[in-house]
Structure 1
């Protein structure tokens, strides 16, 4: 590891001397792209992060959003609104080098970001991107990543309820693992990463520090080398979910008792990153004695202690009179606890065995990295080159494509019902979890350790006056994902579509979008065409979220996702939440009786092709421009949410990946089929174009749906449900007919291949 010459000159000028070895490495990591966002920060001002619901926006470990007030069963209305936390992060490079540990520690990191806000984690969503599914190495990475996520999430008892999986050839040399977490807290329990005052102690809590993860932030800010799987293995952390579970419960007790003044998860750049960022945010300093850190391995150097990214660790600011109580609680949970220093009003200083190894201004360390001024090229518009594929063959290929096929093989490995909050789980357009006070979930667990049970008992006995010890009556909808086919062909338009797609998913379950966080993934930004595509996804995502009045309250940027195989497609993962009264939602699957309508554009006029970004073109090697989006997406989403909650609505399903063909196939069950008729001058375009912002609605009143969407979006009656478990599509002069069993077999591509 080495500090760039231009950066070293700035550091020498600021310090008035050459940096020590520890200082140089600390600057290299904290000024890396991964930590300082040197190439992306100039673009991020495009996002609107404000709103009356936003309590804490970008810049902390996680964002904090207030839920709309809701009537409880007793008619009482909360004066203090419930808060949720939202965070998202990437663990892309580590998951290529070691898919199991890389993905697992990504889950652990985003959960600790949630803890550091004084919140209890209630739901996870993972969005995963790999190379071609039939490639052996892609399958190896895919299976390892799913194993890492499922093992870690299941062990810590946080349900994985939503997410996405996509396959694209340009992820072969650099897969993406993006993980989001939702937590629950309130104003009284809220903690931030801003240090409060000099004299308070800094306490390190959790696992012992080892040599794993050294230089992880720097590693994440470089292209993956051909030998990365062996050469970069030391930069990958190793997780311990059982320690994380204890840390979750210990953190909850510390928050309950009001013992934490500020907190920071130890992630990128380890202790050096967490402790310096805490005090930098308050323009303060710290004095840390590194030898006081509890260590897993002998003879660790100051640099190793400072930069190691060992997992399951938190740094707390604690008032001196509360240190003994903190230690007592932490030791009850069999976790390590070290008082490593204190907050000061001076520089950020670290000593080791009496020798000063770091003495710098914390704000300069955290915020002094210069921004990059990079060249940008706009992507070229694709030419139109449409395949002439047989309609039935195309239907079979697209319904069975790994991108549109069932992801049951993935989510059945996740415990998505732990905590008994999940009303709608994975496999639907969006998940829905119940909002209620977290202690009810903790108190119901029978598999906790004796230390956890004694702590839970003490909390249950402690009187609470915060008004949150009951059901709130609210459901929280969660959707997460991107669409690499879309943003590969049209970064700006595709990113706008990604935002609308997630909002439509939420509205299909009767919820109204509330806020979002993003994980912006791109290749090497020093390449003008790559940076141009990245700029496009930032602007497109920001524009559509603003149109939808959905503030983007935080996020993560991951660049240099580039390898010998080339750059990844620009990939703007969005995790969006919405709220609704109650936990019920219309199902995705149809019942055996009722009319089926399509909200949104049905087919294409002759010569008006817009199949760009579709799975149809990916399967049959064609190209085309990206489809135009609805003229008024905000009204469309709002209206869809209201119609989804109407008593006459029997089922709702978003239409997107794979187009109308896949959406229809997904709605058919062994108990109910569909008989539909589609009129279009372009049958392939009508069945397979992927314009988002459309939905299929099974209803008892077509007239009511038409009235609701009058002036908002077209409503086309396609046909009706049947009781014969058969899908019949009459389109033009052709008929596609199949049954639920055949559809299920086609859609089991991933499960069939991997088992």
Structure 2
């Protein structure tokens, strides 16, 4: 490969030339900028921008990079974070990823990001590079990546295009993560026609480090060198952040589909080890990953985070494609690249380490005290900007929003479908639920992921949460769960988002871990549609309020907008509002994590919490093609108490298995508990029906929140019951484990073998 040949200076749009040609036309609209944004750039610079500057501003002022439509709402996360919530928070919002103190000198960093639109255009590379990008965010904090999760949303399972997207995305997630040797320990996948043209790929990564190994990226120290290392810069992904991640796909505008980034996981694996050695050798001031917006992002963010300025020369950027012009070099989103700030006296040692790992490096800049970001190409000045105006002080919009006119009709349309009245009908409904696209086994997907590589996975899907050991000597570790009830959030964005926080919080607590911190992936429609913007604003308010009430801070995350192809103002204008919540919890010893299924016969089954006839937005309603009404009532004070109970029971050996009762209700919780290890159970609904005034079908399929299904060692039953009675909490003894069938007494019986076949068959039948 060769570097770019010398380009005649006359062909460059220099700062001097820009100042002398104020009326020269520029393609600001094609780069995703609005007219007033272009005018603001001219005002900031006091002249028209050069083509290179225009490229930088276009990508850095995109929704994906600048959060210009979401900033005013995201501020609630910081405003509603109390000092008590920050006790374990070492790094919060605003850095590559949040960092949490988990004790014994260990810290964990985690974050979720989306790669949605690229995964529709080119599913394999879109999903693969989504994994690669979030891994580099974690790596830039100084942490070793130890686990991944992903939340996927696809179109209707029977749509002819869904298989293309599913195969590509699942192969991309697995192919990249497996090649890195990174265990994928959980997440979810759902099918709904609203995602047909807008699949969602939200990838989460977890990294571990000691406290003293935390690194933040900024360009400090006059004279320090700026080094670009890793893969060479090519033409893939140019304009991705400004257009692909920000605009809708409309017929007739193929120009808004730039090429998707191409990933090389084996290069990334070497890059991980190289970066960790660079950190350990103390030869870098900081490292910034190059993802969205490429060199434009890395240089402007490093300079903006520092107290001085930076000068960069593009001539020394190593290129895969020698035909790239300056703007394309700045905008390229070629993967597996990092940018480091290195003291001059450490440069030789830095280059020796990158050379050892056979990684190409080039000094492309220097930190100075100018307060400016300047970039030269072929000896000519093509960029001269205040880096804060590029990276941090971009447009901030207060987009108009209003409660949609169609919300009243949607919420009034309560589920009035057929509730099974006989045992045979209940059996049919149960099997239909368990074999439905969104409740059936995800094993066909997860079997394509390595869940146990590195040897520290204590639990992975199909368990309720992923559990990773951090310290082999003590067993200290973390549990991570991701949740998003998109149907509830469609019915009521505020309460639906709160339900997602509560569900993730409960899933982590069920393992015995203390819920500690939150990351979120917020996937919504167009911010220019007042309906979608209202959904977004309400969901953010719900997330912030729920986190404050539960005492768990938001450490960072991602916003993905423009996920819709329908007509603005219509009920189907965008995807269901999808607020994915990831919660991390701390375990003193992962060996004591509560399993999510029972293994022994003869253990009593208890349902903790109250059940109401809450079926709006439920999976049972979904199997009948219905979405309407109001989501279940949520009591976060009770959710917090329930978590305390589950954590204490795990610690004190009062439970042997536990599952959260959420999507699919008690029916799904009982089925999954039996399916986990192939041990049946007898379920008795009488006490729940009598106490809560329900029919058997309501008790079995209701999706009331704040509930958990637990098995108790026979010897501990008196102590367990006494503890619950002393707390005055609602509970019911709903059965006993054992046998080779799931027997709902007085209603129906399903052999575990038949249940397994019904649960496992749908995805392989459709996609294998």
**Which of 636, 642, 654 is the aligned partner of 1:648?**
654
Q: Deviations over 1:512-549 (max 9, x none)?
A: 10111111111001111111111121111121122221
2:297 aligns to what? 273
Aligned 8 A contact 1:166 1:484 in 2: no
The answer on 1:155 being equivalent to 2:179 is: yes
The answer on 1:362 being equivalent to 2:370 is: no
The answer on 1:400 being equivalent to 2:435 is: yes
2:283 aligns to what? 259
Distance 2:218 2:522 in 1: 25
Distance 1:175 1:421 in 2: 31
| Deviation for aligned residue 1:385 | 3.6
| Deviation for aligned residue 1:709 | 3.5
Q: Quick one: structure 1 residues 671 and 202, their matched pair in 2 at CA, closer, same or farther if it must change by over 3 Å?
A: closer
CA RMSD, 1 decimal: 1.7
| Deviation for aligned residue 1:221 | 4.3
Q: Quick one: structure 1 residues 299 and 221, their matched pair in 2 at CA, closer, same or farther if it must change by over 3 Å?
A: closer
Distance 2:648 2:376 in 1: 60
For the residue of structure 2 that corresponds to 1:67, the secondary structure is strand
Distance 1:318 1:648 in 2: 54
Q: Quick one: structure 1 residues 422 and 362, their matched pair in 2 at CA, closer, same or farther if it must change by over 3 Å?
A: same
The answer on 1:9 being equivalent to 2:39 is: yes
| Deviation for aligned residue 1:434 | 0.5
Distance 1:376 1:566 in 2: 15
| Deviation for aligned residue 1:228 | 9.1
Distance 2:396 2:229 in 1: 34
Distance 2:486 2:164 in 1: 21
**Which of 675, 683, 687 is the aligned partner of 2:700?**
687
Question: How many residues are paired up?
Answer: 702
For the residue of structure 2 that corresponds to 1:122, the secondary structure is strand
Aligned 8 A contact 1:168 1:484 in 2: no
**Bigger shift: 160-169 or 374-383?**
374-383
Where does 1:617-696 land on structure 2 (aligned, <5 Å)? 617-622=621-626, 623-630=628-635, 631-669=637-675, 672-679=679-686, 680=689, 681-696=694-709
| Deviation for aligned residue 1:136 | 2.4
2:750 aligns to what? 738
1:460 aligns to what? none
2:489 aligns to what? 487
1:539 aligns to what? 541
1:573 aligns to what? 580
1:61 aligns to what? 96
**Which of 726, 741, 745 is the aligned partner of 2:741?**
726
Question: Under a length normalisation based on structure 1, what TM-score does the superposition of the two structures give?
Answer: 0.90
1:458 aligns to what? none
The answer on 1:132 being equivalent to 2:145 is: no
Where does 1:138-287 land on structure 2 (aligned, <5 Å)? 138-226=162-250, 231-287=255-311
| Deviation for aligned residue 1:233 | 5.0
2:767 aligns to what? 754
Aligned 8 A contact 2:488 2:630 in 1: no
The answer on 1:582 being equivalent to 2:589 is: yes
Distance 1:660 1:90 in 2: 32
Structure 1 residues not aligned, in runs of 5+: 70-80, 437-469
**Which of 382, 399, 402 is the aligned partner of 1:377?**
402
Distance 2:247 2:416 in 1: 35
For the residue of structure 1 that corresponds to 2:583, the secondary structure is strand
Distance 1:377 1:220 in 2: 27
**Bigger shift: 420-429 or 485-494?**
485-494
| Deviation for aligned residue 1:582 | 1.0
| Deviation for aligned residue 1:343 | 1.2
**Which of 78, 102, 111 is the aligned partner of 1:87?**
111
2:48 aligns to what? 18
Q: Quick one: structure 1 residues 533 and 708, their matched pair in 2 at CA, closer, same or farther if it must change by over 3 Å?
A: farther
Structure 2 residues not aligned, in runs of 5+: 1-29, 421-425, 567-571
Aligned 8 A contact 1:166 1:483 in 2: no
| Deviation for aligned residue 1:331 | 1.7
Q: Quick one: structure 1 residues 8 and 147, their matched pair in 2 at CA, closer, same or farther if it must change by over 3 Å?
A: same
1:42 aligns to what? 72
For the residue of structure 2 that corresponds to 1:747, the secondary structure is helix
1:509 aligns to what? 511
Aligned 8 A contact 2:115 2:126 in 1: yes
Aligned 8 A contact 2:220 2:307 in 1: no
2:455 aligns to what? 420
Q: Quick one: structure 1 residues 687 and 201, their matched pair in 2 at CA, closer, same or farther if it must change by over 3 Å?
A: same
Aligned 8 A contact 1:597 1:702 in 2: no
**Bigger shift: 240-249 or 136-145?**
136-145
**Bigger shift: 677-686 or 29-38?**
677-686
Distance 1:368 1:540 in 2: 27
Q: Deviations over 1:469-494 (max 9, x none)?
A: x6243121011131212212221111
Q: Deviations over 1:202-260 (max 9, x none)?
A: 00010000010101111244333145996555331000001000000100110110111
Where does 1:426-465 land on structure 2 (aligned, <5 Å)? 426-436=461-471
Distance 2:534 2:652 in 1: 44
**Bigger shift: 239-248 or 192-201?**
192-201
1:452 aligns to what? none
Question: Under a length normalisation based on structure 2, what TM-score does the superposition of the two structures give?
Answer: 0.89
| Deviation for aligned residue 1:166 | 1.2
For the residue of structure 1 that corresponds to 2:161, the secondary structure is helix
Distance 2:243 2:559 in 1: 14
